[in-house]
Chains A and B, each alone.
Chain A
């Protein structure tokens, strides 16, 4: 469904991602692991079209989307839940969700999609008119995921959804991720948390200083001695 071919992305001419290739089949849940500064967020933002790559291609369902704007990619259903959640703090939960579904493809079905999201997160239903900035971290993560689902995501990219959450919330959020996967959504899960990701993803890529160091099924990655060293940056 998604293919990244030899992607090089950087800031101010200095490459951060160096020749990254990665594939994601429809319905798959793939983990993208890596230590601090490995380039995970840079990769996700490249997929969202925030940065133009220096070279390489991104294919979505066989079509080259490398030159598309962020808006056009959202309209295709390539949607991310950003690192740090980035909910709109001075807007209500309801307005945040409406904004999630503001793209041309999702807008007509927003009301129906909202019901679906509120079913998934009953807690958001109770807080519909509360400002997002007053939610707890875990609730903001729910909102950020709900907001991405409002866009009628076809590929959901989650950037460190466990970041800064209590263990209970982490469990809850990963339960939701499993549920979305079971419903058939294609998911790219970016995490620093190794064990957590290996438990929920089918396949994984380990990014080390902008390169794919290891890739394979979760079990293989778990037992690969290189994994720990990539992690510790040795």
Chain B
């Protein structure tokens, strides 16, 4: 029973961050039809930027986001404006190839600057634990959970009740009609992509404490994010957060109850199972 609660808690904590990662991807997909296969590599980039800031200024990753978020948003805006935008509206496959290429560029760029050895970025709270009855929680996980949900709620409120949020939803629902309202569709797409990358910069700091980092680690996050987004029905807000929790929990159960390799496969197994029975994802037509 203790083990079960432990797995469930750990899964929920990490799953919230997976949900957040996927929200970024879902938003971008919703307004521009771009599925970014370099998603995870931007997380890796964010983590290595935290490493650099620690080495240079001994900044804690949680503090580094003050710098990494605006820098990564800027990079995101440039990447969308000059790399992706010229391709949007053409074949989906071209976008896939382009973002896969971007993934390789990011990986090798990181490799060139930081080398290939696994590295660690220390944080003040890294080894702190929080014990609740029989359940042991790592403080970084708790922080990740709280911040992820706070950001998700913030995003939701932004989408519902600000002009920018309504513009994002309008472009998603009908880009032509949105432009007839005087909404600059291209600008909304750039800003949304930048926002998505900015979220990744925060997620990078949340996932960093205790995680050994290496240049090729991004692929794993890309795959997890894709699973969550598809589970969530691509653009459904609540569905995506739920998908994050499902994947996080199955990952935690896999690692606690099964052997290493088998445990890592569990999320994919669960994913395939859910898709067999609910190909439309976990959605039921809620909030867009």
Contact = CB atoms under 8 A, between A and B. Distances in A.
Interface of A: 48, 50, 69-71, 74-75, 79-80, 82, 86-91, 95, 98-100, 102-104, 107, 147, 151
A82 B182 contact: no
Contacts of A151: 181-182
A98 B178 CA distance: 12
B170 interface: yes
B176 to A, nearest CB: 7
27 contacts: A48-B180, A50-B179, A71-B179, A71-B182, A71-B184, A74-B180, A86-B174, A88-B170, A88-B173, A88-B174, A89-B173, A90-B169, A90-B288, A91-B166, A91-B170, A91-B173, A98-B166, A99-B167, A99-B170, A99-B181, A99-B183, A100-B181, A102-B167, A102-B182, A104-B182, A107-B163, A147-B181
Contact of B173 (A80, A90, A104): A90
B173 A70 contact: no
B122 to A, nearest CB: 46
Contacts of A90: 169, 173, 288
B183 A86 contact: no
Interface string B155-187: 000000001001101100110111111111000
Contact of B177 (A79, A88, A95): A88
Nearest to B287: A90
B169 A91 contact: yes
Interface residues of B, number: 17
Contacts of A91: 166, 169-170, 173
Contacts of A98: 163, 166
Nearest to B169: A91
Given A50-B179, A82-B180, A151-B181, 18 more contacts: A50-B180, A70-B179, A71-B184, A75-B182, A82-B176, A86-B176, A88-B169, A88-B173, A88-B174, A88-B177, A88-B178, A90-B288, A91-B173, A95-B166, A98-B163, A98-B166, A99-B183, A102-B183
A99 B173 CA distance: 13
Contacts of A89: 173
A48 B182 CA distance: 10
A226 B284 CA distance: 55
Contacts of A100: 181
A102 B166 contact: yes
Nearest to A85: B177
Nearest to A101: B181
Nearest to A98: B166
A74 B181 contact: yes
Contacts, number: 63
Interface of B: 163, 166-167, 169-170, 173-174, 176-184, 288
B166 to A, nearest CB: 6
A86 B180 contact: yes
A56 B281 CA distance: 50
B2 to A, nearest CB: 44
The 4 closest A-B pairs by CB, nearest first: A74-B182, A103-B182, A86-B177, A71-B182
Contacts of A147: 181
A50 B174 contact: no
Contacts of B182: 70-71, 74-75, 102-104, 151
B184 A69 contact: yes
A130 B154 CA distance: 24
A82 B178 CA distance: 11
Nearest to A48: B180
Contacts of A79: 180
Contacts of B163: 98, 102, 107
B88 to A, nearest CB: 16
Nearest to B161: A95
Contacts of B179: 50, 70-71
A71 B183 contact: yes
Given A71-B182, A71-B183, A95-B166, A50 B173 contact: no
A50 B176 contact: yes
Contacts of B288: 90
A87 B180 CA distance: 11
A176 B167 CA distance: 28
Interface centre among A70, A98, A103, A107 (most CB of B within 10 A): A70
A4 B173 CA distance: 32
B179 to A, nearest CB: 5
A56 B169 CA distance: 35
Contacts of A87: 177
B106 to A, nearest CB: 33
Contacts of A74: 180-182
Nearest to A148: B180
